[in-house]
Amino acid sequence: MCGIVGYVGRQQCADILVSALKKLEYRGYDSAGIAVHSNGKIKTVKAKGKIAEGLEAKLAKEGKPYGTCGIAHTRWATHGEPSDVNSHPIGNGRITIVHNGIIENYREIKEFLISKGYGFESETDTETVAKLLDYYYSGDPIDAIISALSDIEGAYALGIIFRDFPEKIYAVRKESPLIVGKGKGENFIASDMTAILEHTKEYYLLEQGEIAVLDGDSISFYNLHKGSIEKTICIADWDMDAAEKGGYEHFMLKEIHEQPSVIKTTINPRIKDGLPDLSECGITPEKLNSYKRIFVVACGTAMHAGVVGRYVIEKLARVPVSVEIASEFRYREPIVSEGDLVIVISQSGETADSLAAMRLAKQLGAETLAIVNVKGSSIAREADMLIYTHAGPEIAVASTKAYMVQIAVMYLLAFEMALAAGKIDETECRRLTSLLRETPEKIEKILENTEDAQYIAAQLLTADSLLYIGRGLDYALSMEGSLKLKELSYIHSESYAAGELKHGTISLITDNVPVIAVATQQNLFDKTISNIKEVKTRGAKVIIVCRESYVPDKDIADFKFGLPDDVEDLLMPMAAVVPLQLIAYYTSVLRGNDVDKPRNLAKSVTVE
């Protein structure tokens, strides 16, 4: 959930490390630090807070450490409150480390080390790893790492430097992601390619239990038996422009506006002769027709994409679909067996609960399909079948374009599944696929109308709480709209199926409580309007998201965001989510919040 960077080469590394950390700020953090080999010692500088106000201010005051090899970290607190002492890097005079993940048995290790005379300064689980490495170290770093790892339980990605080896970085991982970047006369470690992309596009994926040893001219890999490993180099397929704001005020706004292009990038290569073709992903019509049940397992926004997928698959293919929160799925002894398909959706491909749920599904005999955005991620590598969502880097913590392409992929899957099952014919499948391909143009039109979203956002500024309602696919959308607003504005918000209002929730409606009603499904429109009237008569301030041609009376809605009339009901979620994203974005901006890095949130949740 936090960021790791390491550099070894010929350049002074302090500025390189700090610059790389800034590119990882979007992952979420509460402190930052660097450790550099300097004049025969390891010099560490770290501070609570944002990089600019904390670490950089401290470096300006104390001076930057002078050296060409170092490691750095942005921490998101799990053990011990955010503080200078609890910040990473952590270590002692001989060994210093940075760590992502959680050490589950750190208390037992700590008690053992205290019995051996070690003292502890921080409240972190990370310090136990640093001191355990020191306990085992007798001159050979790899031996110490192998011995320490045999005692450790949990998830980790570790970057390690030893005082006795001033031009080397050691790295190892289990569960938490870590890559090794290959440059010219310089090499890197990083938890995310974004951190080092300005220096190199070449990288190695570090697998579970592999140890990397880097100096400026070489990279070596070893297994936990100290055997040498040969690895294949990977090439990043995007550049720094994709990870920059490009003139937009925030990454989130840029990513909202990128949605039409990333839909095309994701779906067009998977359409042949006007029909969906997922064969490159290991998916065939025969396979799709063989599944009796489907489980969609995901977290947060990805789970909401799964809810949209459920509606579409069940409607078109008539196959039962269950949408599961990954953290619940893995602990409730799910009834999953051979012949079932488990679809795991994750932007990062490293979401800890989703990865564990997928592994459980495989153990139970189900086939697994991953829908992920990050190439070479853990979920991507372990799934039986794989669909990449070509959204490019998503820097803002609140997901927008990744969600959009997840939905687009679920549509393609539903269309091909329905055709394979004989529930729709080729003519209908071509028609639906053609409509999907036209969606980017509809979204572009919506994005021309940001003024209405800004006006609506201004009406929400003083709200303490609000409600999103909808029916069918609109309810799925209201779930995502509510989450976006919570994430960004910090206003309490809930989503409810509109038909459930009278079963308790309507008691929350008082004068001027905002209600955002999504009403795009024509077969449910009259019923939704009836539910809207129920809240309006009780004093709610109603904002309706509906087709442009509908003109609500004042006794129905106070404000309207209009959507193109020519979008088919089934595909409306892709159009209608855009105003919900914009409303959340502008509400956050008007409230003065950090839009791209909301408080307490991290981009990739790699711990439970």
Active site residue 603: yes
Q: Nearest-CA neighbor of 234 among 158, 180, 177, 174?
A: 180
Q: Cα dihedral sign for 324, 325, 326, 331?
A: negative
Catalytic residue among 168, 375, 536, 603: 603
Which residues sit opposite 118 in a β-bridge? none
Q: What are the structure tokens assigned to 275, written together?
A: 């029909």
Q: Are 340 and 291 in contact (CB under 8 A)?
A: yes
Q: Nearest-CA neighbor of 356 among 418, 274, 303, 298?
A: 298
Cα-trace Rg, the chain: 25
10 Å CB burial of residue 345 (0-12, 13-18, 19+) is: buried
Distance (Å, whole) CA 11 – CA 216: 10
Number of Cβ atoms within 10 Å of the Cβ of 227: 8
- Angle at alpha carbon of residue 268, lines to 264 and 272, rounded to 5°: 165
In Å, what is the CA distance from 45 to each residue of 18, 60, 127, 131, 262?
11, 11, 16, 19, 40
Distance (Å, whole) CA 255 – CA 536: 34
Question: DSSP assignment, residue 151?
Answer: T
Q: Cα dihedral sign for 113, 116, 122, 127?
A: negative
DSSP notation for 525-560: HHHHHHHHHHHHTTT-EEEEEEETT----TTT-SEE
List the beta strands (DSSP E) in 254-412: 271-272, 275-276, 293-298, 321-325, 340-346, 367-372, 385-388
Which residues sit opposite 494 in a β-bridge? 467
451, 457, 462, 463: CA torsion to nearest 10: 150
Active site residue 13: no
Q: Nearest-CA neighbor of 101 among 175, 26, 27, 193?
A: 175
Q: What are the structure tokens assigned to 127, written together?
A: 């310090």
Catalytic residue among 2, 13, 69, 299: 2
Question: DSSP assignment, residue 206?
Answer: P
* Rounded (to 5) percent helix, strand, coil in the chain: 40, 25, 35
Distance (Å, whole) CA 222 – CA 172: 10
User: Could you tell me how far CA 346 lies from the centroid of its own chain?
Assistant: 7
Q: What are the structure tokens assigned to 531, written together?
A: 């539910």
Catalogue the active-site residues. 2, 603
